[in-house]
Chains A and B, each alone.
Chain A
Amino acid sequence: MKTNDVMLQTVTKVVTFIILMFAVHIFFAGHYTPGGGFVGGLLTASAIVLLMLAFGIQTVKKIVPVNYVVMTSVGLLLAIATAAASILFDVPFFTHAYDYFDLPLFGKTSLHSAMLFDAGVYLVVVGVTMTIIQTIGEDE
């Protein structure tokens, strides 16, 4: 039976981008305000899940050709490398450095090395969540 889900697909085409933009916002807001890599990763994963709901799991595999297991390991490596880089500078493990820069278009911005660790957490969360959902969803 051919089902008619025009409404779900039309809403998904708009809402997915809103969720992805919100995920980026909450990822970068995570240092001083609520948010961070974990919530950003969960939001990105839920955007991909919404795409899978509307368009089917094979279509999403074609348009997002990412191996999520590799993504998880890259994220773990990034997080561990950021934490271990403090050994090179003779400071305790997990010490984080920051400084203030004058970026164009943003003005005075404080850039932290903890954000790299957060990016690792983001990749791990997206990878693990999508691996679980794909494994469960594909099983007949």
Chain B
Amino acid sequence: MMMFYWISLAIISVAFAGLLVRLVKGPTVADRVVALDALGISLVSIVALLSLIIETEFFLEIILLLSILSFIGTAAFAKFIERGEIFDRDHNR
């Protein structure tokens, strides 16, 4: 079973490296935002696999924290791309 965890960790690390390349190279802003969101998700899976490997429960809260921060960041970026501003001044325009 431990072998299975290590193989998954290696695969996710390869995906992480590919996403980093897309984050640096990405031709448009939307590519970079999608790469950043996927980076957050693969970070969450890396932390989950690590806590399985070293058999601890202390990292589980970090998973929820990373997911929340990644969600808010992606929502803010999406709104910025769509409208050009993050907080609109009067909402009922």
Contact = CB atoms under 8 A, between A and B. Distances in A.
A137 interface: yes
Contacts of B58: 33-34
Interface of B is mostly: helix
B91 A53 contact: no
Contacts of B93: 1-2
Interface residues of A, number: 27
A93 interface: no
Given A2-B93, A33-B58, A50-B72, A56 B65 contact: no
B55 interface: no
A55 B75 CA distance: 13
Contacts of A137: 86-87
Contact of B75 (A8, A22, A56, A59): A8
Interface of A: 1-3, 8, 15, 19, 22, 26, 29, 33-35, 39, 43, 46, 49-50, 52-53, 55-59, 137-138, 140
A111 to B, nearest CB: 22
Given A52-B87, A56-B89, A58-B90, A39 B71 contact: no
A3 B83 CA distance: 9
Nearest to B85: A137
Contacts of A58: 89-91
Q: By CB atoms of chain B within 10 A, which of A2, A15, A56 has the most?
A: A56
Contact of A34 (B62, B68, B75): B62
Contacts of B87: 52-53, 56-57, 137-138
B29 interface: no
A67 B41 CA distance: 35
A26 B90 contact: no
Nearest to A18: B68
Contacts of A35: 61
